[in-house]
Amino acid sequence: MSVIIIDEAHERTLHTDILFGLIKDIARFRPDLKVLVASATLDTERFSCFFDDAPVFRIPGRRFPVDIYYTKAPEADYLEACVVSVLQIHVTQPAGDVLVFLTGQEEIEACCELLQERCRRLGSKISELLVLPIYANLPSDMQAKIFNPTPPGARKVVVATNIAETSLTIDGIIYVIDPGFCKQKSYNARTGMESLIVTPCSRASANQRAGRAGRVAAGKCFRLYTAWAFKHEMEETTVPEIQRTNLGNVVLLLKSLGINDLIHFDFMDPPPHETLVLALEQLYALGALNHLGELTKLGRRMAELPVDPMLSKMILASEHYKCSEEILTIAAMLSVNNSIFYRPKDKVVHADNARMNFVVPGGDHIVLLNVYTQWVESGYSTQWCFENFIQFRSMKRARDVRDQLEGLMDRIEVELCSCNGESVPIRKAVTAGYFYNTARLSKGGYKTVKHQQTVYVHPNSSLFEEQPRWMIYHELVFTTKEFMRQVIEIESGWLLEVAPHYYKNKELEDSSSKKMPRKQGKAREELG
DNA sequence: CTCTCCCT
């Protein structure tokens, strides 16, 4: 007999949901296989029902009770409400550390500053309050501070993102302050744009947060919203990731496992139809699927790499342009989420100057390559990172990703070779993977070629002031505006060179007519 | 002229 355990199933990550579908299928014709699904939430019925009415076992947790307090009326300014609540706890409540949940770096910094300023003003009237931020992109030495034991007579306040909800636990937390918001990714399959939006968190998430107060002793959770809002306005559970993300690599993976009919794949919660259609269209455009929606030889090679299809295609194309060494580095650097450059608030000018020193012509990909190359020349130095306002942790991760990808080159038969940093072949290889993400400068600024959508170069980009006519973007994100992040300059002729099946000469020259790429009707056929 | 959850 064999057993498969799926733990933390309640988190409903992309991979959990894919596993659900695959394992359910396998378990039906493998009676020797036991499947154990472990979830920390109470919605067991959904899991049980999905797995053909599997029996449910309830295992009581070993936690201390947590008293929940709600506000009588909604808070107009939850940041201010957090600050006031922390100070009230500090002055009126017995010993025990405080954990505050906020949505992101900016909010956390603001909250910490406010707390410190008010403590300064109160001076010796109150006992010491240690204010510590924690979020994923905070440098690791500063992250480590939250784990130092609180000195006697003092109290610690940890101001955190969702990182403290599941990923790490802090000893000594007795009080939790929960404003009830989090930042969530969502994906628009019509435009292919991701956005990160502050939304009310789910009841499951709120309960998880409250639980953080009861790990060492009985605790208290102060919810900065009304009991009514908890009951009537918040969703029961968080929308599963599979319904809020681009599915390019998932579709490629499933196709490579021989699952052709994705529309009828047994998803516990199916993704939006349009998301699947767009993923299929893009894979067809990349040449990973044929007109019947079947995996091509190229698609099979692309599926060997654990990265998004466009990135995979870029790596495969790099062999033709004799720059696979450079492209592997760029792929690795793009995989670590915009966390290469460190920009602390109190040293913005220094950090920006340091960043400028890395700028080379061509665009952000070439700049990333330059950063990595210099780091290698420094002997992978931590000190070098520190001096250049580069996040060591991110570079280390890029190195790991690069090593892993390099190890797979043999299997997909891509020869390692270098163009000695020459820009054109590198940018052509990028174009071969990302031709779908082309933007062009017109009178009203940049517009995407695919949807004629107005987009902007991100102010952090090395091409922010350059305004090249044609650009390729790595990703499109909506924050305060529609931003292209990580862009390179290209020549329109390259589009015909790398994707003649996708672009017609006319489309690239005639600026008055609608510049739509060829119809991608074939990929739709599979969908009926 | 921004500034963005989590870890795969």
Query: Could you read off the pLDDT tens digit of each residue along chain A, which spans 528 residues?
Result: 889 999 888 888 999 999 999 999 888 888 899 999 988 877 788 899 999 999 999 888 778 999 999 999 988 889 999 999 999 999 999 999 999 999 988 899 999 999 999 999 988 888 999 999 999 888 888 888 998 899 999 999 999 998 998 877 888 899 999 999 998 888 988 888 888 888 899 998 999 899 999 988 999 999 999 999 999 999 988 899 999 999 999 999 999 999 988 888 999 999 999 999 999 999 999 999 999 999 999 999 999 999 999 999 999 999 999 999 999 999 999 998 778 998 887 888 888 899 999 999 999 999 999 999 999 999 999 999 999 999 999 999 999 999 999 999 999 989 999 999 899 999 999 999 999 999 999 888 999 998 888 999 998 899 998 999 999 999 988 888 889 999 999 999 999 999 888 887 656 654 444 444 544 444 333 332
Give how far Cα A259 sits from Cα of A51, A189, A256, Å. 19, 22, 7
Distance, CA of A186 to CA of A245 (rounded, Å): 6
Distance CA A136 to C1' B7 in A: 10
Q: Which residues contact A158 (CB under 8 A, 6 or more apart)?
A: A97, A98, A99, A100, A132, A133, A134, A146, A164, A170, A173
Residue of A228, A229, A231, A209 whose CA lies nearest to A220? A209
Distance CA A519 to C1' B2 in A: 36
Residue of A426, A450, A424, A446 whose CA lies nearest to A436? A450
Q: Strand pairing partners for A212? A: none
- Nucleic acid strand B within 7 Å of A183 CB: yes
In contact, A97 and A175? CB cutoff 8 Å: yes
Residue of A397, A382, A249, A411 whose CA lies nearest to A334? A397
Q: Which residues contact A128 (CB under 8 A, 6 or more apart)?
A: A151, A153, A154, A155
- Nucleic acid strand B within 7 Å of A15 CB: yes
Distance CA A89 to C1' B8 in A: 38
Distance, CA of A397 to CA of A416 (rounded, Å): 21
Distance CA A458 to C1' B3 in A: 11
Residue numbers in A 340-379, CB below 7 Å of strand B: 343, 348
Find the residue closest to B1 using CA and C1' atoms: A459
State whether the Cα torsion A70-A76-A82-A86 is positive or negative.
negative
H runs (alpha helix) in A236-294: 248-256, 273-286
Distance CA A355 to C1' B6 in A: 27
Four-CA torsion A201, A202, A204, A208, nearest 10 degrees: 10
The closest nt to A308, taking CA to C1', is B8
Give how far Cα A501 sits from Cα of A422, A472, A511, A527, Å. 27, 18, 20, 22
- Nucleic acid strand B within 7 Å of A188 CB: no
- Nucleic acid strand B within 7 Å of A182 CB: yes
- Nucleic acid strand B within 7 Å of A480 CB: yes
Q: Strand pairing partners for A27? A: none
Strand duo A445-448 + A438-442: pairing:
antiparallel
Question: pTM for the whole thing?
Answer: 0.88
Q: Exposure string (b/e) for A42-63, b if CB count within 10 Å is 16 or more?
A: eebeebeebbeebeeeeeeeee
The closest nt to A306, taking CA to C1', is B8
The closest nt to A479, taking CA to C1', is B4
Give how far Cα A302 sits from Cα of A46, A107, A182, A309, A412, Å. 35, 40, 35, 7, 8
- Nucleic acid strand B within 7 Å of A116 CB: no
State whether the Cα torsion A283-A285-A286-A290 is positive or negative.
positive
Q: Which residues contact A491 (CB under 8 A, 6 or more apart)?
A: A470
- Nucleic acid strand B within 7 Å of A45 CB: no
Which positions of strand B lie within 7 Å of protein CB atoms? 1-8
